[in-house]
Structure 1
Amino acid sequence: MMNLKGKSALVTGGGTGIGRAVSLALADRGAAVAVNYSRSRAEAEETVREIVERGGRAIAVRADVSIDAEVREMAAAAAEALGGLDILVNNASITRHIALDDLEAAEDEVWDTLFAVNVKGMFYCARAAAPFLKRSGQGAIVNVGSIAGSTGLGSSLPYAVSKSAVHGLTRSLARALAPDIRVSCAAPGAVETRWWAGREERMRQLAGHLPLQRITTPEEVAELVVTLIGLESMTGQVVTLDGGQTM
């Protein structure tokens, strides 16, 4: 198991789903973790409690990642509380469920809201964290994308396009921040999170059509994120974890 003792990490959307799994995985390897939340305060605080109960160190920090001023305050607060920042996991993301061919339903508000969080939010977080990550000497950013960004299929057309933008953002940031900070992207397929609440039968049907006939777990995505953090020769790459769906 990778040893991250002495390292500190900020995980956006860190209290639920993939973000929670990433927060726990980083803490289990010795990192101090700032668990970001926007609305899921109870879940973030529960994640912090679990980390502390396991003998780790963590804090919960609120910020809406689509608001630059809040992001800058969050990064500074996390760095101060944890003694710096070595790792940023850009996980916070939202979607809207709209049939792909319903172009009229993809209104301006949907585009603006999804891009504000999913794309600009990740950029804001990277920009705010960059000065702290550079000081660490081995800074790493992992963005959480999606196979929707490669296939064009997803919960909505704006969501798929936003994730394609995340993949592009990863490559651009990798160039902009090299050699001080490595930037990679984990692109999962279907993941068993609360997103599937009320859609469990659809999830089971999808699993049956995948080559590996299983849906990816948040813990598996967290393992990929941790692996990307540890690979010192990797930057600018988008790595897929989807049960063989896109091969």
Structure 2
Amino acid sequence: MNIQHKTAIVTGGGTGIGKAVSIELAKRGARVVVNYSRSREDAEETVRTIQGGGGTAVAVQANVAKEAEVQAMVGRAASEFGSVDILINNASITRYIAMNDLDSVNDEAWDELYQVNVKGMFYCARAAAAEMKKQKQGVIVNLGSIAGITGSGSSLPYAVSKAAVHGLTRSLARALAPEIRVSSVAPGAVATRWWAGREQQMEQLAGSLLLNRISSSEDIAHMICAVVEQDSLTGQVITVDAGQTM
């Protein structure tokens, strides 16, 4: 898909990977809907950055875990820009629970992570697909994680939720073919604000990777855009991790 003049929704688009991909899509000519749930200032700053570079963007609030809000967001994107062509399902949450601390994994943790990370992505995909079908084309990219491949990560529920995202990706690719392509990008460690206060740990991890570096948000954004642009790609989970899973 040629990104120029297309409308893209980026969930969680105000910070981290979401911000980087919002800016990169805009650089390639997309009109970007920068979604946020609570980070309004960050989303509006991302919009200003895009507009300052000559791009088109708008910040739209919606909690992806609430289907009515998702439908309203997609409806606004379609009415304001005329179409919905690209969905970047980036919004995710986690809880930090030691992997071997099974007693601390309660129903609240399971329900919260699945509601946002899995059901939220499904709600967004379903709403966006309804608009994409009108022009018989579209691309959805879900943000997975190597946690969903290796089984390790910030918590057991998080790792399992990301494995579910990878499964959701493959199922949606079948359900929405051939008009709509669906794939997933699964990052390893990424240098975002979530490493704040743990910079030494990040540096130690970087030294153990094959490429001796932690991926940047821009690295992931470039891959996401490449997935959008590759017309022969669907149903894939693509790892970008500087060799972390080797």
TM norm structure 1: 0.98
Residue 112 of structure 1 is matched in structure 2 by 111
**Aligned partner of residue 109 in structure 1, secondary structure:** helix
CA distance in 2, matches of 1:66, 1:74: 12
Residue 79 of structure 1 is matched in structure 2 by 78
- CA displacement at 1:135 relative to structure 2: 2.1
CA distance in 1, matches of 2:135, 2:216: 31
State, as a whole percentage, how many aligned pairs show the same letter.
65
Contact 2:60 2:73 in 1 (8 A): yes
Contact 1:85 1:136 in 2 (8 A): no
CA distance in 2, matches of 1:70, 1:3: 29
CA distance in 2, matches of 1:23, 1:135: 24
CA distance in 2, matches of 1:86, 1:204: 38
Taking the TM superposition and a 5 Å limit, the aligned residue runs for 1:205-244 are 205-244=204-243
- CA displacement at 1:5 relative to structure 2: 1.8
**Aligned partner of residue 125 in structure 1, secondary structure:** helix
CA distance in 2, matches of 1:50, 1:81: 20
Residue 182 of structure 1 is matched in structure 2 by 181
- CA displacement at 1:138 relative to structure 2: 2.6
Residue 158 of structure 2 is matched in structure 1 by 159
Q: Deviations over 1:1-45 (max 9, x none)?
A: x95221110000000000000000000000000000000000000
Contact 1:184 1:237 in 2 (8 A): yes
Please, what is the CA RMSD of the aligned residues? 0.9
Contact 1:27 1:57 in 2 (8 A): yes
CA distance in 2, matches of 1:142, 1:68: 19
Contact 1:3 1:30 in 2 (8 A): no
Unaligned runs of 5+ in 1: none
Residue 204 of structure 1 is matched in structure 2 by 203
- CA displacement at 1:81 relative to structure 2: 1.1
CA distance in 1, matches of 2:214, 2:5: 34
Does 1:7 find its partner at 2:9? no
Residue 137 of structure 1 is matched in structure 2 by 136
CA distance in 1, matches of 2:225, 2:132: 16
Contact 2:3 2:229 in 1 (8 A): no
CA distance in 1, matches of 2:154, 2:121: 20
- The one-letter amino acid paired with 2:49 is E
TM norm structure 2: 0.98
CA distance in 1, matches of 2:203, 2:125: 36
CA distance in 2, matches of 1:133, 1:143: 16
- The one-letter amino acid paired with 1:105 is S
**Aligned partner of residue 185 in structure 1, secondary structure:** strand
Contact 1:133 1:181 in 2 (8 A): yes
Unaligned runs of 5+ in 2: none
- The one-letter amino acid paired with 2:240 is L
**Aligned partner of residue 186 in structure 1, secondary structure:** strand
CA distance in 1, matches of 2:28, 2:128: 21
